[in-house]
Amino acid sequence: MKDKTTTLEAVKQYIQEFSDVRGWRKDQNAKDLVMALTVEAAELAEIFMWLHSDEADSVREDPKEFEHLKEEVADVFWYLCRICRHFDIDLAEAVEDKSVKNAKKYPVAEK
């Protein structure tokens, strides 16, 4: 799968099927999914823990750490997609709706 050729719906369906064949869906509930998302976000943050801000981008230059970064980003997205499926949230629509609110809250400064 590649971003340019895969829809969000296809990714969500892929994740759901992967979970269903392993019997994970029957155990899922909103609290557990949100907790899992939080843990995965912490694992993502852990990669950067103790790095100075100006060193953070160096993760890209270490193949092992960069692979770890991609894994944790995938884990975060995985649980975000499962939460969307659980609550039947259209992620693209939610992003667009929130952007409308953010645009009102943070208008572009006129020059």
Question: Which residues of this protein are in contact with Mg ion, per CB under 5 A?
Answer: 40, 43, 75
**Nearer to Mg ion by C-beta: 40 or 82?**
40
Q: How far is the CB of 72 from Mg ion (least distance, A)?
A: 5
Return left, alpha or beta for 106; rule: phi > 0 is left, psi -120 to 50 is alpha, else beta. Answer: beta
Q: Judged by CB, which is closer to Mg ion: 65, or 75?
A: 75
Nearer to Mg ion, 12 or 40 (CB): 40
Min dist. Cβ of residue 65 to Mg ion (A): 14
* 40 burial type by CB count under 10 A (0-12 exposed, 13-18 middle, 19+ buried): buried
Cα-based angle 95, 77, 48 (whole degrees, multiple of 5): 110
Q: Closest separation between CB of residue 29 and Mg ion, Å? A: 20
